[in-house]
């Protein structure tokens, strides 16, 4: 039995409709996003299930999933805080924001809170430089960060 739920398969099928039937692998990135959206991260077993569903060699799916940093191949917190530490954000106080979040949550970059709620990561440019410093939490962008803004954001999620 496949690990992919009916909902996931239905969503992947919608992507598959966009490609010729013999090009199922073209939907691999969308399929991985779909699986991650449902499960929060993508286990080895789920990667294998995607490979089977798209009739691809398992290794080809591992290659795609491990190439892109947006795919989480290890368990992460319910809320993934990706804070940009690239040049515009850095010049606008990203380092201070990282320190503030680390202190506020009691974790360092790359770690997850003990309750499994938050994972903090430092990422490259989020393409919102004009509003630096910026972070993305799950799929939402938060711009022109300040300690007060961070407090308000985290309070809503706690
Ligand atoms: S440098 Fe941070 S969004 Fe571009």
> Which CATH number characterizes residue 121's domain?
3.40.30.10
Q: Is 86 found in the same domain as 61?
A: no
Residue 52: predicted pLDDT: 97
Percent of the chain scoring above 70 in pLDDT? 99
- To test ligand 1's pocket by mutation, which of 92, 125, 141 has the most ligand atoms within 8 angstroms of CB? 125
Angle (CA) 46-52-57 rounded to 5° is 100
5-23 pLDDT per residue, tens: 999 999 999 999 999 999 9
In the chain, how many domains are there? 2
Res 2 pLDDT > 80: no
If you measure from the C-alpha of residue 125 to the centroid of ligand 1, how many angstroms do you get, rounded to a whole number? Answer: 4
Whether the pLDDT of residue 116 is over 80: the answer is yes
Within a domain: 112: yes
Distance (angstroms) between ligand 1 centre and the Cα of 120 equals 17
Q: At a CB cut-off of 8 Å and minimum separation 6, what does 59 contact?
A: none
Residue 26 confidence class, pLDDT cut points 50, 70, 90: very high
Peptide linkage before 101 cis (omega within 30 of 0)? no
Q: Of 67, 89, 117, which residue constitutes the final position of a domain?
A: 67
pLDDT at 100 > cutoff 80: yes
- Confidence category of residue 134, pLDDT binned at 50, 70, 90: very high
Residue 40 pLDDT exceeds 70: yes
Instruction: List the domain range (segments joined by +) for residue 116.
Output: 79-157
Higher pLDDT, 30 or 139: 30
Task: Please name the residues in contact with 81: beta carbons below 8 A apart, sequence gap of 6 or more.
Answer: 101, 118, 119, 120, 121, 135, 136, 137
Q: Looking at the structure, tell me whether residues 99 and 141 fall in a common domain.
A: yes
What residues contact 77, with CB distance under 8 A and at least 6 apart?
112, 113, 116, 117, 118, 119
Can you list the positions of beta strands (E) in the chain? Answer: 79-84, 118-123, 135-137, 140-142
**Shared domain check, 83 and 63:** no
Q: Are 86 and 141 in a shared domain?
A: yes
Would you give the DSSP letter of residue 137?
E
Which of 92, 132, 142 has the most ligand 1 atoms within 8 A of CB, as the residue to mutate?
A: 132
Rounded Cα–Cα distance for residues 132 and 154 (Å): 18
Mean pLDDT over residues 125-144, rounded? 96
Examine the domain organization and report whether 32 and 63 are in the same domain.
Answer: yes
pTM of the shown model: 0.81
Closest-lying ligand 1 atom to the alpha carbon of residue 128:
3
Residue 11 lies in a domain: yes
Query: Over 70: is that where the pLDDT of 1 sits?
Result: no
Mutating to test ligand 1, I would choose from 126, 131, 135 the residue with most ligand atoms within 8 A of its C-beta, which is 126
147-157 pLDDT, tens digit each: 999 999 999 99
Pocket lining for ligand 1, CB < 6 angstroms: 84, 86-89, 125-129, 132, 134
Residues 107 and 143 occupy one common structural domain: yes
């Amino acid at each position: 039995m496949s690990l992919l739920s009916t909902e996931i398969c239905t969503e992947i099928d919608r992507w598959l409709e966009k490609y010729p039937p013999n090009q199922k692998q073209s939907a691999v990135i969308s399929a991985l996003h779909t699986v991650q959206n449902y499960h929060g991260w993508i286990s080895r077993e789920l990667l294998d299930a995607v490979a089977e569903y798209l009739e691809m060699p398992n290794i080809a799916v591992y290659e795609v999933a491990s190439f892109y940093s947006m795919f989480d191949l290890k368990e992460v917190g319910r809320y993934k805080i990706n804070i940009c530490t690239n040049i515009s954000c850095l010049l606008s106080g990203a380092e201070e924001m990282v320190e503030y979040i680390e202190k506020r949550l009691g974790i360092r970059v790359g770690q997850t809170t003990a309750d499994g709620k938050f994972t903090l990561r430092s990422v490259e440019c989020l393409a919102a430089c004009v509003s630096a410093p910026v972070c993305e939490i799950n799929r939402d962008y938060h711009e022109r960060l300040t300690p007060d803004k961070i407090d308000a954001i985290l309070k809503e999620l706690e």
